[in-house]
Chains A and B, each alone.
Chain A
Amino acid sequence: MSAANLSISEASQALASGDLSAKELTEDVLQRASMTEGQLHSYMLIDHDGARAAAKEADLKLAAGSGGSLTGIPIALKDNMVTEGIETTCSSKILEGWIPPYDGSLSQSMKAADAVIVGKTNMDEFAMGSSTENSAFGTSRNPWDPTRVPGGSSGGSAVAVAIGSALGSYGSDTGGSIRQPASLCGIVGMKPTYGLVSRFGLIAFASSLDQIGPFSRTVEDSVALLAAAAGPDKMDATSYHGAYPNFGGSLGKGVAGLRIGVVKEFGGEGQEDGVTSRFQATVAALEGAGAAVVEVSLPAAKYAVSTYYLIAPAECSANLARFDGVRYGLRVEGETVEAMMRRTRAEGFGPEVTRRILLGTYALSAGYYDAFYGQAQRLRTLMIQDFATAYASCDVLVSPTSPTTAFKIGERTQDPLAMYLSDIYTIPSNLAGHPAISVPVGNDELGLPVGFQIMAPALAEEVMYQVADAVETLMGRSPMPKLQEVAS
Chain B
Amino acid sequence: MAIEIDIAHVARLARLGIPEEELAGYGEQLEVILEHAAAVQGADTEGVEPTAHPLGIVNAFRVDEVRPSLDRASVLAQGPDTTDEYFRVPPALETE
Known: A208-B54, A359-B34, A362-B34. A317 touches B14 (CB 8 A): yes
The residue from A355, A359, A374, A432 contacting B50, defined by CB atoms under 8 A apart: A374
**Smallest CB separation, A329 vs chain B (Å):** 7
The residue from A101, A357, A381 contacting B78, defined by CB atoms under 8 A apart: A101
**Smallest CB separation, A469 vs chain B (Å):** 26
Q: Would you call B30 and A379 a contact (CB within 8 A)?
A: no
The residue from B30, B54, B93 contacting A432, defined by CB atoms under 8 A apart: B54
Find the residue from B18, B54, B74 having the highest chain A CB count within 10 A.
B54
Which size class do A's interface residues fall under? 35 or more
CA distance A321 to B10 in the complex (A): 14
Known: A237-B60, A381-B48. A337 touches B34 (CB 8 A): no
B33 within 8 A of A: yes
CA distance A349 to B16 in the complex (A): 9
> Would you call the interface of chain B mostly helix, strand, loop, or mixed?
loop
When distances are taken between beta carbons in the complex, the residues of chain A under 8 Å from B78 are 98-101, 327-329
Write the chain B residue with the least CB distance to A195.
B55
When distances are taken between beta carbons in the complex, the residues of chain A under 8 Å from B79 are 326-328
When distances are taken between beta carbons in the complex, the residues of chain B under 8 Å from A371 are 41
Which size class do B's interface residues fall under? 35 or more
A431 within 8 A of B: yes
Write the chain B residue with the least CB distance to A326.
B87
CA distance A416 to B32 in the complex (A): 9
A-facing mask of B49-92, CB < 8 A → 1, else 0? 11111110100101000000011001101111100000101111
Write the chain B residue with the least CB distance to A309.
B37
When distances are taken between beta carbons in the complex, the residues of chain B under 8 Å from A331 are 80-81
Known: A300-B43, A327-B79, A337-B89. A345 touches B48 (CB 8 A): no
Q: Would you call B55 and A194 a contact (CB within 8 A)?
A: yes
B-facing mask of A369-381, CB < 8 A → 1, else 0? 0011011111111
Q: Would you call B37 and A372 a contact (CB within 8 A)?
A: yes
When distances are taken between beta carbons in the complex, the residues of chain A under 8 Å from B74 are 101
Q: Would you call A417 and B32 a contact (CB within 8 A)?
A: yes
Q: Would you call B45 and A375 a contact (CB within 8 A)?
A: yes
**Smallest CB separation, A262 vs chain B (Å):** 23
Known: A343-B17, A346-B16. A303 touches B50 (CB 8 A): no
A-facing mask of B26-45, CB < 8 A → 1, else 0? 10011011101111110101
CA distance A269 to B5 in the complex (A): 31
Q: Would you call A342 and B55 a contact (CB within 8 A)?
A: no
Write the chain B residue with the least CB distance to A207.
B53
Q: Report A235-287 residues with CB < 8 Å from chain B CB.
A: 237-240
B-binding residues in A (CB < 8 A) = 98-102, 193-195, 208, 234, 237-240, 300, 302-303, 305-307, 309-310, 317, 321, 324-331, 333-343, 345-346, 349, 354-355, 357-359, 361-363, 365, 371-372, 374-382, 384, 416-417, 420, 431-434, 458
Known: A336-B93, A355-B26, A372-B40. A431 touches B54 (CB 8 A): yes
- 13 additional A-B pairs beyond A355-B33, A374-B50, beta carbons within 8 Å, are A101-B71, A101-B74, A102-B70, A208-B54, A329-B78, A335-B94, A341-B15, A345-B14, A354-B16, A357-B16, A362-B30, A365-B13, A381-B49
**Smallest CB separation, B10 vs chain A (Å):** 5
CA distance A179 to B92 in the complex (A): 45
The 5 closest A-B pairs by CB, nearest first: A433-B54, A342-B17, A377-B50, A331-B80, A378-B45
Write the chain B residue with the least CB distance to A358.
B10
Q: Would you call B40 and A336 a contact (CB within 8 A)?
A: no
Known: A362-B5, A374-B50, A458-B54. A334 touches B90 (CB 8 A): yes
Known: A336-B94, A355-B30, A361-B10. A324 touches B37 (CB 8 A): no
The residue from A193, A326, A380 contacting B51, defined by CB atoms under 8 A apart: A380
When distances are taken between beta carbons in the complex, the residues of chain B under 8 Å from A303 are 39-40, 43
Q: Would you call B14 and A357 a contact (CB within 8 A)?
A: yes
